[in-house]
Amino acid sequence: MSIPDWVEPVARYMLTEGLVGTLKIAAFALAGSVLVGITLGTLLTIKFLPLRALIRMYIEVWRGLPILVTIFIIFFALPAVSLQLEFDAVTAAAVGLILWGSAQVAEATRGAVQSIPREQHEAASALGFGWVGRHTFVIMPQALRRLLPPLVSLLVNIIQNTTIAQVIGATELLESGERQVERLTAPPPIGLGEIHAFEIYAAVMVVFFLISFPLTRLAAYLEHRLI
Amino acid sequence: MTAALAAGFFTDLWSFVQDNSDELLAGLRRTLVVSVIAIGGAFFIGLILGAARAHRIPVISPLAAIYVEVIRNTPILVQIFFLYFGLTQDIGPWPGIRLEAFTVAWLSVMIWGGAFNTENFRAGFEAVPYRYREAGLALGFSRIKTFANVTLPIGGRIALPSSINTYISVLKNTSLLYVISYPELTTTALQIQALTLETVETFTVLAVSYLVIVWTMSFLIRLLESHLALPEER
């Protein structure tokens, strides 16, 4: 049994355009989520009620909304408020994922920071560290250890949720697959007049599985190892 | 000035809701119906397969493990695409399966929730100390009776918070049924938006609806949790 001729160009397009797009959105979303999430999560441990209420609100809103709805709001509703708030599909998807991901990270960070014993804060203060220095050099390095397993799980979720960008037409793996399904369905000379949705969507699932499975194993291993 | 603007916005919002209440309520109803079916199904899948995994029942346990890993490690949106667009294709002598949008709607989110719930329940049942089960068996209970009277009440409570988070995710995931044009809340809202061009109003109503449902669910859940808590944890 040989591989049909249509497979090679489809696979090449899906890997060079689609998979690269997926990894790009995922990288932005992960970096943004970790940065914003760790900052908000640490601020959440300060006993100042208005600040805590504000961050709590942020977390509950972006965790409560389906990511698709968040992305729709950024992509369709913000430009309706002001034309300066118009984003391309990739940016809108990345921002939507950052809002959701940072809410998850903030919640996890709060727990990790609060799990660091009080003596560590006192020792750092005694050494002359201010609030920022204390958290940057003493508390966060220790909290990161406990934060690592949830961050790996978050990475898996972010990679899987990049597919939601397909809905607004951003180029990522699922979108590239759908474009190829449509192209092949078109009559010659553009396509083949054949439906290959089964093979192509199965292939998309396989690629995501190959990326996610090692990462979920890693998350489980870290959780077992570090705590 | 700001107050007047805000008042104007709420008046607009209210007339928007009144004008489109029939469609919005129909969409909301479909979201809830699909969620209830899927959550019920995910509960039973999780209960049965989670018990099979925790007790290492031959054949069923490894198959359940494969099901869990495949579903948890692939995006639900691709699963929906596969069920709705992929399965219809004829493969050689096999005729394609054509599923209705409603079938794909509850089936896809149920399969997804079932996989996560299997893990939730497995972890819950495995957290029940072995000596409790030994005690049940020593009292002359059969294995099934031991499960029903010892492992289930204790392990089920341990699994409750995580399984409830799964149910909330199931409800939120129904929004993805937009891609198969199943007219649940999100699809309905976008149809209204396309017709009326009242973009800000549409998305405000859509977001508030989801937040009200999700927040209500998590509030009720905390009540249920404290109600079901084991006596020593109260």
| ipTM for the complex shown | 0.90
Shortest alpha-carbon distance between residue B203 and chain A (Å):
6
What is the Rg, in whole angstroms, of the alpha carbon atoms belonging to chain A? 22
A69 touches chain B (CB under 8 A): yes
Mutate to test the interface with A, among B31, B68, B76, B77 (most CBs of A within 10 A): B77
Q: How far is CA A71 from CA A101, A156, A168, B8, in A?
A: 13, 19, 8, 26
Mutate to test the interface with B, among A184, A205, A206, A223 (most CBs of B within 10 A): A205
Residues of chain B with pLDDT under 50: none
CA-wise closest residue to A158 among A82, A77, A219, A226: A219
Ramachandran class of A116: left when φ > 0, alpha when ψ lies in -120 to 50, beta otherwise = beta
Orientation angle between helical segments A173-185 and A197-226, nearest 10 degrees:
170
Phi/psi at A96 (5° precision)? -60, -45
The tally of CA atoms less than 13 A away on the side-chain side of residue B74 is 25
Predicted confidence at residue A196, as pLDDT, reads 87
User: Which tokens in the block code for residue A179?
Assistant: 């474009």
User: Which tokens in the block code for residue B112?
Assistant: 């997804």
Nearest to B172 among A66, A166, A204 (CB): A66
Nearest to A202 among B86, B211, B214 (CB): B86
How far apart (Å, rounded) are the C-alpha atoms in residues B206 and B216? Answer: 16
Shortest alpha-carbon distance between residue B159 and chain A (Å):
18
DSSP B94: B
Q: Which amino acid is at B73?
A: N
How far apart (Å, rounded) are the C-alpha atoms in residues B27 and A11? Answer: 38
Complete domains list, chain A, with CATH: 7-226 (1.10.3720.10)
Check CB contact under 8 Å for B206 and A69: yes
Predicted confidence at residue A1, as pLDDT, reads 65
Predicted confidence at residue B110, as pLDDT, reads 97
What is the Rg, in whole angstroms, of the alpha carbon atoms belonging to chain B? 22
Nearest to A197 among B75, B89, B186 (CB): B89
How far apart (Å, rounded) are the C-alpha atoms in residues A222 and A149? Answer: 6
**Burial (CB count within 10 angstroms: exposed 0-12, middle 13-18, buried 19+), residue A156:** buried
Nearest to A80 among B81, B179, B200 (CB): B200
Predicted confidence at residue B233, as pLDDT, reads 61
On whether the CB atoms of residues A124 and A151 are closer than 8 A, the answer is no
Predicted confidence at residue B232, as pLDDT, reads 65
Predicted confidence at residue B169, as pLDDT, reads 95
A16 CB neighbour count, 10 Å cutoff: 11
Instruction: Quote the pTM value.
Output: 0.91
Which SS3 state, helix, strand or coil, does residue B198 take?
coil
Check CB contact under 8 Å for B75 and A208: yes
A137 CB neighbour count, 10 Å cutoff: 12
How far apart (Å, rounded) are the C-alpha atoms in residues B86 and A199? Answer: 8
Complete domains list, chain B, with CATH: 27-233 (1.10.3720.10)
Residues of chain A with pLDDT under 50: none
Q: Which residues of B touch A73 (CB under 8 A)?
A: 203, 207
The tally of CA atoms less than 13 A away on the side-chain side of residue A97 is 29
